Amino acid sequence: MEQERIYHALKEKIIWLDLSPTSLINVSELAKSFNISRSPAKEALIYLESEGWVLRDGGRFLVSPLSIERIKEISEIRSIMEVQANIWAMYRIDKEELSTLKKISTEIGNLSEIPTNRQLVELDLKFHRTLFKASKNYELAQILERMLQHFIRFWLSIPLKTGVKLVFKDTIEMIQAIQMKDEAGLKLATLEHIRKSVDEIMGMH
């Protein structure tokens, strides 16, 4: 449907900062750019509003600002749900998904010392999505995916302050823990990964 097409297109632009936080979205111009009427364009914006991607300001829509409070709240939820998802992934992962994790580990090792933020985010997202899928719990994977998407805008907006090896240290430890079926090690590495993500964001805002 038309509103779904607009919803997905706008959401991608918001997530990857092609539409900056607090930027104005004009319904008429949006409809014109998709060659449709105003109704499906407004319906798509209302759906994005329900997920926290846009805000309504009178008769206007704005891209949601970056919110530290939202990141804190999401992190509290991730600290519980993502740990469990990763543990399920460790026990339920199949050969193809294990192979993907090995490839991700190799990709991390092959990264240049000065990668772009987008390269880092795309690789981190690929890692998380592999574990979400490996958990074999579709509903949980969808929830975690939505929460992770809100982190992306922050990660893209902050400069890299540490080397690539330090950025992905916890990722490598998580992969190794999964390979070794080390539940305690996986839990610790997951919690550290989430904590460091928040600390990076808090240090810049």
- Are residues 47 and 110 located together in one domain of the fold? no
Range of the domain at 196: 68-202
Q: How far apart are CA 2 and CA 39, in angstroms?
A: 10
pLDDT tens-place string over residues 11-28: 999 999 999 999 999 999
pLDDT value at residue 165: 74
- Are residues 165 and 128 located together in one domain of the fold? yes
Which of the listed residues 21, 41, 63 is the one where a domain comes to its end? 63
Predicted structure pTM score: 0.89
Q: Is 25 helix (H, G, I), strand (E, B) or coil?
A: strand
- Are residues 38 and 115 located together in one domain of the fold? no
* Helix runs in the chain, H state only: 2-15, 27-33, 38-50, 68-92, 95-110, 117-134, 138-157, 164-167, 169-180, 183-202
Domain count, the chain: 2
CATH number (domain holding residue 8): 1.10.10.10
CATH number (domain holding residue 91): 1.20.120.530
Q: Is 29 helix (H, G, I), strand (E, B) or coil?
A: helix
